[in-house]
């Protein structure tokens, strides 16, 4: 299967010390809507910028659509990028934004642009600075879609939008993916934003990729087991513990396994996507006791 983004031990360090992304290895197949989930500051924006060619990796390698994400017009034309908070030129009108897109992109789809502008109430003569947050996001998305990229990257596209605008934004995005075959990578710190739209998920925590895979496969291979208290060491070899919690009587595990679970002692319940991600976020490295929350001077 074609990969749109392939990262190998990818790392990015800002300044001397701060690693924004470290040892990131991930393959993102083509034809998916990929959700990049993680808490704020996990390195999502850095990974997206590396994929868009905005940043140069400090270590490792990344290929996007089969080539290095170089700063060349050819590669730029194939990759769309909608930055966080959907920046637009406040002094320019909607029409001027579309003109900008038409002039700067070889594969510009003027029909799509004007159709979307009309549908989302983007009056051509209005200055972009006067648009509502949702309309601004739609304008930025229109520019990203009408350039007809093979891969569209969106950095926290709905984080600053109200629920209605969020839904409209996702509707527009999904409609475009249904109509034109292209891959999408979008990030969010909220799983709920991505639950319906993503069929591939990458969870990024503390600048590392914790899990990546097709949503369906992830949901099929992760289970919550509840039952009498039991040591993790006594679980079958094929079951990888994602997170565990115990009371004196009861144990609750979230495990990843390809095989069905037959043990009658367990009550097995399926996990939703959000619970699955939370299980990974909750995970602490083995042997590392939960550090209590403390305010440091």
Query: Contact residues for another protein (CB under 8 A)?
Result: 32-33, 49, 52, 54-56, 71-73, 76-77, 80-85, 87-92, 96, 99-101, 103-106, 140, 143-144, 147, 167, 170-175, 177-179, 195-199, 216, 219, 270, 272
Structure tokens at 139: 């304008």
- Residues 191 and 179: their CA atoms lie apart, in Å, by 25
CB nearer to another protein: give 175 or 263: 175
Nearer to another protein, 128 or 211 (CB): 128
Q: How far is the CB of 172 from another protein (least distance, A)?
A: 8
Nearer to another protein, 96 or 282 (CB): 96
Q: What Å distances lie between residue 49 and 7, 64, 70, 209, CA to CA?
A: 13, 12, 12, 16
* Residue 61 vs 104, nearer CB to another protein: 104
Distance CA 259, CA 283 (A): 22
User: Shortest gap between Cβ of 80 and another protein (angstroms)?
Assistant: 6
Closest approach, Cβ 11 to another protein, in A, equals 15
* Distance in angstroms (rounded) separating the CA atoms of residues 93 and 70: 31
* Spatial contact of 60 and 23, defined as CB atoms under 8 Å apart: yes
Nearest distance from C-beta of residue 144 to another protein, angstroms: 7
Q: How many CA atoms lie within 13 A of 5 on its CB side?
A: 30
The smaller minimum CB distance to another protein, of residues 85 and 230, is found at 85
**Structure tokens of 216?**
């369906």
Distance CA 173, CA 152 (A): 10
**Smallest gap, in angstroms, from Cβ of residue 294 to another protein?**
33
């Amino acid at each position: 299967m074609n990969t749109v983004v392939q990262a190998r031990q990818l790392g990015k360090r800002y300044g001397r010390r701060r690693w924004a992304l470290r040892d990131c290895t991930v393959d993102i197949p083509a034809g998916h809507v990929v959700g990049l989930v993680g808490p704020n500051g996990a390195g999502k924006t850095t990974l997206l910028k590396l994929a868009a060619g905005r940043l140069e990796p400090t270590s490792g390698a990344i290929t996007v659509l089969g080539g290095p994400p170089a700063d060349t017009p050819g590669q730029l034309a194939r990759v769309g990028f909608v930055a966080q908070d959907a920046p637009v030129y406040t002094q320019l009108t909607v029409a001027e934004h579309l003109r900008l897109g038409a002039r700067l992109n070889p594969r510009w789809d003027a029909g799509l642009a004007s159709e979307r502008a009309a549908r989302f109430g983007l009056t051509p003569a209005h200055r972009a600075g006067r648009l509502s947050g949702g309309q601004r996001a739609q304008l930025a998305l229109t520019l990203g879609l009408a350039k007809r990229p093979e891969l569209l990257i969106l950095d926290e596209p709905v984080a600053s939008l109200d629920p209605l605008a969020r839904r409209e934004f996702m509707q527009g995005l999904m409609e475009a993916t249904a109509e034109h075959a292209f891959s999408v990578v979008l990030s969010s710190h909220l799983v709920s934003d991505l639950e319906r739209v993503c069929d591939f998920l990458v969870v990024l925590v503390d600048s590392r990729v914790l899990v990546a895979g097709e949503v369906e496969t992830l949901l099929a291979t992760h289970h919550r087991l509840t039952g009498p208290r039991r040591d993790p060491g006594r679980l079958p070899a094929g079951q990888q513990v994602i997170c565990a919690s115990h009371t004196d009587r009861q144990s609750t595990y979230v495990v990843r396994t390809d095989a069905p679970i037959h043990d009658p002692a367990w009550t097995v319940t399926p996990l939703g996507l959000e619970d699955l991600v939370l299980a990974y976020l909750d995970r602490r490295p083995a042997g590392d006791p939960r550090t209590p929350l403390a305010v440091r001077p």
